[in-house]
């Protein structure tokens, strides 16, 4: 066997599973069809670490949301990923909605959510003065937080690679065959990989991957959520995650700061047919503008810098699917919201499933690490720290992204790190270069040049996110 465990998918579920597996004496590989980790749902979501009151008591979602939330502070500290426990409010504007708030409180108590409180109107406005008039009460959950979903994913994968896991990009699994003692996987280029254990963390495509191994017990439907992101001058419009009482099948449109200091409104929730349909729509933008204004008014749409959409991998079972439908084949499937919050616990749970099955033995290896080498973030440094850094390497003194204050050497670091960036979006998600007001208008061409230099290729070979998403077609002069 080439491998002990192959994880299919480098979203937050696969990355966290690989992170937990990488402490053991196992040959682990993470295969993904995309060029970068967190290329699908794990990059386009609300970035909220939910407290865990809205999942059905007794469900895997409830169990792993609350556990993942409790783990998140420690995991983020180890991975050097920004995480802020800012708390959330579910705000009611009528007696009916107040009943829903009470039900959420009760389900939170059953799920083991710590320190929740139902606030009256006065207490709610004291916490969030910018709310619209007419609040009747709110559910306050101080354990809720905000995190950067792609940084969390990338960091977990990076540590897994430091511990010896292999990350095979642009490797789309197209067939799975049972062989003696394990499985043979074939990718779209015809290359084969043999492994004792397979973990299916293929997000929207987890039903197709499970079917390759003979498990047709569930299907996944894509459910789109659209967002509008505002510039940082709006980042203090609210200081908590502000939910309305949930709509059927979703947590409702919310208004929230991001961990990096922006503000967003969204998401809506609409089923779509195509698992690649991440286009934003005119109707969707109007829907989230109208819905968000119910809780927070006066948001200046001229300060919006971009909009985007993500697809929830909604499973036919209604809950996370974490099982072993065939010996040595494990599903970590149907991981819709709160999958980001739950991810550290999902990874841990999958490793426990593997341990219990005995498919491979888990023996801790010497010298494994749970921590990532700290990332240099020039924008967060004091003047003295910056001067010291630039004296060591003048490329930390050359600003490439003016909006987000990202330096040339930070971009080079992001490319050189384990599981490093290979595309413009890869650099963007690791450094924030291109995340600001101009959305890469100024830094984009410079990032292409640095990528080409670091990767030893022509700038025309650099893509935005892999495949045929080339940035340049050739020289004009």
Three-state secondary structure readout of 156-205: HHHHHHHCCCEEECCCCEEEEEEECCEEEEEECCCCEEEEEEEEECCHHH
Q: Do 119 and 137 meet the contact criterion of CB atoms below 8 Å apart? A: yes
137 binds ligand FAD (CB under 6 A): no
Best CA proximity match to 101, nearest among 117, 80, 78, 125: 117
Catalytic residues: 50
Site for ligand FAD in 220-279 (CB under 6 A): 225, 267
Decide if residue 34 touches ligand FAD (CB under 6 A).
Answer: yes
Cβ closest to ligand FAD, residue 257 vs residue 444? 257
Q: Which stretch binds ligand FAD (CB under 6 A): 196-204, 353-361, 402-410, 434-442?
A: 196-204
The binding track of 9-28 with respect to ligand FAD, each residue x by CB under 6 A or -, is: xxxxxx--------------
- Residue 312 within binding range of ligand FAD, rule CB under 6 A: yes
Residue 271 and residue 316 in contact, taking contact as beta carbons nearer than 8 Å:
no
Q: What is the rounded distance in angstroms from the CA atom of residue 202 to the CA atom of residue 10?
A: 8
Q: Is 111 in the site for ligand FAD (CB under 6 A)?
A: no
Does 145 interact with ligand FAD (rule: CB under 6 A)?
no
How far apart, in Å, are the Cα atoms of 192 and each of 176, 186, 215? 10, 4, 21
* Tally: H helices and E strands in the chain: 12, 22
What is d(CA 91, CA 85) in angstroms, rounded to the nearest whole number? Answer: 18
Q: What angle do CA 464, 469, 475 make, to 5 degrees?
A: 90
Site string for ligand FAD, 50-79 (x = CB under 6 A): x-----------------------------
The reply on whether position 33 binds ligand FAD by CB under 6 A is yes
Q: If binding is defined by CB under 6 A, does position 93 make contact with ligand FAD?
A: no
Please report whether residue 47 would count as binding ligand FAD according to CB under 6 A: yes
CB of 94: closest distance to ligand FAD in angstroms? 25
Contact window for ligand FAD (CB under 6 A) among 114-122, 202-210, 297-305, 350-358: 202-210
Q: What are phi and psi of 302, to 5 degrees?
A: -70, -15
- The neighbouring-strand residues paired with 107 are none
Position 203 contacts ligand FAD (CB under 6 A): yes
In this chain, which stretch among 37-45, 159-167, 414-422, 429-437 interacts with ligand FAD, using CB under 6 A?
A: 37-45
Residue nearest ligand FAD, CB atom distance = 339
* Residues of span 333-392 touching ligand FAD by CB under 6 A: 335-341
Task: For residue 47, say if its preceding peptide bond is cis, omega within 30 degrees of 0.
Answer: no
* Cα separation, 455 vs 409, whole angstroms: 15
Interface residues with ligand FAD (CB under 6 A) are 8-14, 31-34, 39-42, 45-48, 50, 172-173, 201-205, 209, 225, 267, 310-312, 335-341
């Amino acid at each position: 066997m080439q491998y002990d465990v192959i994880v299919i998918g480098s979203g937050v579920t696969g990355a966290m599973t690989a992170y937990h597996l990488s402490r053991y004496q196992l040959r682990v590989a993470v295969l993904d069809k995309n060029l970068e980790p967190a290329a699908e749902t794990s990059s386009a979501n609300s970035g909220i670490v939910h407290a865990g009151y809205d999942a059905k008591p007794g469900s895997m979602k409830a169990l792993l949301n609350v556990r993942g939330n409790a783990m998140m502070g420690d995991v983020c500290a180890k991975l050097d990923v920004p995480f802020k426990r800012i708390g959330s409010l579910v705000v009611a504007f009528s007696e009916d909605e107040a009943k829903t708030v009470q039900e959420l409180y009760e389900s939170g108590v059953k799920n083991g959510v710590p320190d929740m409180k139902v606030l009256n109107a006065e207490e709610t406005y004291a916490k969030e003065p910018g709310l619209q008039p007419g609040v009747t009460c709110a559910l306050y959950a101080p354990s809720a937080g905000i995190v950067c979903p792609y940084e969390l994913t990338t960091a977990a994968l990076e540590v897994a690679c430091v511990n010896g896991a292999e990350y095979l990009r642009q490797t789309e699994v197209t067939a799975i065959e049972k062989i003696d003692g394990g499985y043979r996987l074939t990718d779209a280029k015809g290359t084969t990989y043999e492994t004792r254990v397979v973990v299916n963390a293929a997000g929207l495509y987890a039903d197709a991957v499970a079917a390759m191994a003979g498990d047709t017990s569930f299907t996944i439907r894509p459910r789109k959520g659209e967002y509008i992101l505002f510039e940082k001058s709006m980042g203090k419009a609210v200081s908590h995650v502000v939910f309305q009482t949930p709509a059927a099948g979703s947590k409702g449109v919310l208004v929230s700061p991001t961990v990096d200091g922006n503000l967003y409104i969204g998401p809506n929730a609409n089923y779509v047919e195509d698992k690649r349909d991440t286009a934003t729509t005119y109707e969707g933008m109007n829907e989230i503008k109208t819905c968000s204004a119910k809780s927070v008014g006066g948001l200046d749409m001229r300060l919006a810098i971009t909009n985007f959409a993500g697809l929830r991998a909604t499973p036919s079972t209604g809950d996370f699917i974490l099982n072993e439908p065939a010996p040595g084949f494990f599903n970590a499937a149907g991981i819709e919201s709160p999958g980001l919050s739950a991810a550290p616990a999902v990874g841990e749970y999958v490793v426990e499933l593997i341990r219990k099955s005995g498919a491979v033995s888990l023996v801790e290896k010497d010298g494994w690490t749970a921590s990532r080498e700290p990332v240099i973030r020039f924008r967060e440094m004091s003047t003295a720290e910056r001067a010291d850094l630039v004296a060591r390497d003048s490329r930390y003194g050359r600003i490439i992204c003016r909006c987000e204050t990202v330096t040339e050497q930070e971009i080079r670091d992001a490319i050189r790190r384990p599981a490093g960036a290979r595309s413009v979006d890869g650099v963007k998600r690791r450094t924030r270069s291109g995340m600001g007001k101009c959305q890469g208008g100024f830094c984009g061409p410079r990032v292409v040049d640095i990528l080409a230099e670091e990767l030893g290729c022509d700038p025309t070979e650099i893509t935005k996110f892999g495949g045929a998403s080339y940035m340049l077609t050739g020289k004009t002069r």
